[in-house]
Each structure stands twice: as C-alpha cells, then as structure tokens.
Amino acid sequence: MEFGLVAANVILIVFLLLAVGLTLFALPGNFVILLAAVGYGFYEGFSRFDGGFLFTLGGLFVLGEAVEFVAGMLGAKRHNASGRAVVAALVGGIAGAIAGTVVLPVLGTVAGAVAGAFGLSYVAEYSKTGDREKAARVARGAAAGLLVGTLFKLAVAVGMAVAIVTRLAW
C-alpha cells in the first residue's frame, strides 16, 4: 500500500465531507464534489475515475442543481400561484440565501432562502390577488418546495460522495 495513495484518499474524503457540508448550507458543495472527483481522476490516471463515471457524476450534479432550482417554484405553483409569485419564489430564495449568509453564515443561508421564498412569494401573490389566505398557501408551498429541493440536493451530494469513496483503491 503506497503512502501517497492513502494520503490522496484521505484528502479526498476530507474534501468530500466538507463539500457535503457546503451543500447542506445551500452552498456549491456538489460542484466541489465533482471537481474533487475530476482532480482525483487526473491524479490516478482516470483508470478508476474514468470518463463514464465522471459523466455520471456530472449528470447527478446537474440533476441536483435543477431540482433545487425549480422546487420552490413548483411548490408555489402547486397552490395555483400566479406567474409573479412563482418567479418571486425563485428570486426570494436566492436573495434570502445571500442575506441569510451575511447575517448568520452557514445556518442563515438555508433559513434565509426559505424565508425569502416565503416572503417574496407571499407579497407577489397578495399584490396580484388581494387574497391573504391564498397568498399564505402559495408562500408555504414555495418555502416547502425550496426546502425539499435543498434536501434532494443534499441526498445527491451524499450519493455522489459514497459513489466516489467506493471507487477508491486502498
């Protein structure tokens, strides 16, 4: 067992754990996982981390991002939201994540994203319909959808990390 290989494996596993943590807090952890796999593939000559495996990881990365991107909008749309509220859920989630990160790094990111999606979709729906109950349903749907999207992306991150670790040569 070569020391360099063991050291590279340990470093990769540390990166993977950190990246899953990034994903948990709505940061680009899945992208870090993908880059770590490509870097390790380069290190080991792309024998275990070949093109097909890396392409699959890339597909999982895109899937996780896409689901996270549209989940809040779909959550709002599920409650017959107006187009304005659907877009507001997306914009509110992004703006809330940024604001939450500034206020309370890490935990504030997720809380801010959910609060932003809720708040902005509520305001958008209420300004369109004048119906507080409907606006509240739409906002709850947007917040729940965003949370589900984040959890899905986290599950993808864990799956990507497990797939990578199972391919390591010790």
| The predicted structure's pLDDT at residue 84 | 94
**Mean pLDDT within 78-85:** 92
Domain total of the chain: 1
First to last CA, the chain: 7
Q: For 92-102, what is the mean pLDDT?
A: 89
Yes or no: say if 121 and 76 are a contact pair by the CB < 8 Å rule: yes
pLDDT tier for residue 95 given thresholds of 50, 70 and 90: very high
Residue 98 three-state SS: helix
pLDDT, one tens digit per residue, over 42-76 is 999 999 999 999 999 999 999 998 998 788 889 98
What crossing angle do the helices spanning 132-166 and 51-77 adopt, rounded to 10°? 170
pLDDT at 7: 93
Asked whether 117 and 146 are in contact (CB, 8 A), the reply is yes
Given pLDDT bands bounded at 50, 70 and 90, which one contains residue 94?
confident
Q: Is the pLDDT of residue 31 over 90?
A: yes
How far apart CA 93 and CA 98 sit, in angstroms, is 9
Kindly report, residue by residue over 6-29, the tens digit of the pLDDT: 999 999 999 999 999 988 877 789
With a cut of 80, say whether residue 106 has pLDDT above it.
no
Write down the pLDDT at residue 56: 97
- Structural domain including 70 reads 3-166
Instruction: Give the per-residue pLDDT at 1.
Output: 62
Contact 37, 164 (CB under 8 A): yes
pTM for the predicted model, two decimal places: 0.83
Structure tokens, 152: 């899905």
Please, which pLDDT band fits residue 152 given cuts at 50, 70 and 90?
very high
Mean pLDDT of 141-170: 94
Which of 94-98, 101-105, 142-146, 159-163 is the least confident region? 101-105
